[in-house]
Amino acid sequence: MEPHSGHPRRWQILGVMVFSLLAVVLDNTILNVAIKTIADPVHGLGATQSELEWAMNSYTLVFAGLLFTFGVLGDRYGRKRMLMTGMALFGLASLVSAYAQDPMQLIGARALMGLGGAAIMPATLAIISNVFPFHERGKAIGIWAGGVGIAIAIGPITGGLLLEHFWWGSVFLVNVPIVLVALGLITALVPDSRDPDKAGLDPVGVLLSIVGLVSLVYGIVRISDLGTVADVSVVVPSLAGLAILAAFVWYESRIDHPAFDVRHFRNPAFTTAISSVGLVFFSAMGVMFFLAFYWQIVRGFSPLESGGLVLPFAIAQLIFSPASARMVDRYGAKALGTAAMVVITLCLAAYALVEVDTPVWILLVLGFVQGAAMANLMPPATTAIMNALPREKAGVGSSMSNVVRQVGGTLGIAVLGAILSAVYRGEMEAGAGAVPEQFRHLVTESISGAAGVAGRLGPHGASLMDAANDAFVEGVHWAALGSAAVALIGTFVVARWMPGRTAQAVPPVVKAEPEREAAVV
């Protein structure tokens, strides 16, 4: 392969990478649709609220905790090998999840799915960075991001269709044929690549990253479980995780062959891109989380209809993500990123004006505009992250990008969800006087609980749901303002530190010949 021409089958390989990622992205969105069915004791597993939370959190903990590790292992032992291992694990775990006989089996199978997903995600982006020449990476990553956006949107629609015609396990079983096709395509088309530097593996750094990330993410997901940050099970693991990750940074800066060279944070483009990714995912994922409840409970749409309402966001991703590289070339990363962050901030703030009866078309337009803005920010930011590292470290760069996405999104859902829950409880505790004492806790705990109680109260249930809907929307207003405030911080970060057009992008120096680092095996 010529140093600057890229792999001759690079566009076909890009298609395979997008398809390979489809199962992972679909699974994360499909499960949200299936939660109610899995909780049903007749048509599902009869899972409790806590068991449902851990069916989601077990995946998140393993996925986030091992993303960095699998990026390092892929660089050392081969990204194609790591991708195929991850696909096989993910397919097997999906099969086990589909036929789980009780909630604990499902929780264990979901953890195994997180293991497979952690191996898949960084490998796809690392392979793209190795088969495309430097000047085409932006366009390729834009297409990759557009594919991810589409998968996010079709997940709820797919889940709704499956649940209307099949049993709950079908939302996991659908991953199996995708995995089998992907494995065949990877075997036939994708070259292997690895870091030719056979330096030590840095087991201490890898272990610190795993323990630190798992501890931090555990503390974050406990916020979602408890609805508060003021609990010892939140504070202790979160602070411990931050301390361990600080030790990881300190250790990596003092050894000869670190798993991740922390000196890359001296690069303004890299650090600003990483920061903007985390801040945007914090803001956007929190909003998308509470909108799912808004559509299904407040507005009364079915899971399938709710999935369709996300399509404008996905269509915008599909349209604008592939063109984002041209926009960077024309206007520069600083101008484009700042403008995108301003639009994202305004869109998130606009949700503070949403009411129970807001016309649907307004929310669809808002989703489209937000999707277009994110499509002009995320691919260029991801490209900046990947371009800041030499190609032999592409797995590490990809895993860093995905760790920040995952932690940022999880933290956004937890913190903004806690804000929403606190406002909702405050409103409902003042207005639930007529609710029988045995149901009061359910009514004040969540809008889902209020909907369940309202169905038992007959004619009086309508007034209860009116109060619950109003309380939930009030919580949405405060959560939206919180998300907009975080996005505004991201706007200042990009405007201040993102390099402008005069900063010419040049590929980092590689340590080995391209033929060695992208050798087909």
- What does the pLDDT read at residue 185? 93
Question: How far apart, in whole angstroms, are the C-alpha atoms of residue 394 and residue 70?
Answer: 12
Token look-up 């369940």 returns 452
Which helix (DSSP H) or strand (DSSP E) does residue 62 occupy? helix 49-77
pLDDT tens digit at each of 521 positions of the chain: 444 577 788 899 999 998 888 878 777 767 767 776 777 776 777 776 667 777 777 888 888 888 888 888 887 788 899 999 999 999 999 999 989 888 888 889 998 998 998 889 888 888 888 888 878 888 888 888 777 777 776 777 777 788 778 888 888 888 899 999 999 999 989 888 877 766 567 788 888 888 888 888 888 888 877 767 778 888 899 999 999 999 988 998 888 778 777 887 888 888 888 888 889 988 888 788 788 788 888 888 876 787 778 888 888 888 888 888 888 888 888 899 999 999 999 999 999 999 998 999 999 999 999 999 998 888 888 888 877 777 777 677 777 788 888 888 888 888 888 888 888 888 887 665 566 666 667 777 777 777 777 777 666 677 778 888 888 899 999 999 999 999 999 999 998 888 776 554 445 544 443 434 444 44
Residues in CB range of 194: below 8 A, 6 or more apart: 74, 75, 76, 77, 78, 79, 392, 517
Question: How far apart, in whole angstroms, are the C-alpha atoms of residue 301 and residue 377?
Answer: 31
Q: Cα 440 vs. chain centroid, distance in angstroms?
A: 34
**Closest to 52 (Cα-Cα) out of 26, 71, 75, 34:** 34
- What does the pLDDT read at residue 431? 62
- What does the pLDDT read at residue 491? 93
- What does the pLDDT read at residue 331? 87
Contact status, residue 401 vs residue 156, Cβ threshold 8 Å: no
Over pLDDT 70: what percentage of the chain? 87
Question: How far apart, in whole angstroms, are the C-alpha atoms of residue 330 and residue 319?
Answer: 17
- What does the pLDDT read at residue 199? 57
- Please provide the DSSP assignment of 439-507 as one string: HHHHHHH-HHHHHHHHTTSGGGHHHHHHHHHHHHHHHHHHHHHHHHHHHHHHHHHHHHHS--TTS---P
- What does the pLDDT read at residue 1? 41
- What does the pLDDT read at residue 513? 39
- What does the pLDDT read at residue 387? 77
Q: For residue range 390-435, what is the model confidence (pLDDT) as tens digits? A: 777 767 777 778 888 888 888 888 888 888 888 888 888 766 556 6
Q: For residue range 177-205, what is the model confidence (pLDDT) as tens digits? A: 999 999 999 998 988 887 776 656 778 88
Residues in CB range of 196: below 8 A, 6 or more apart: 392, 511, 512, 516, 517
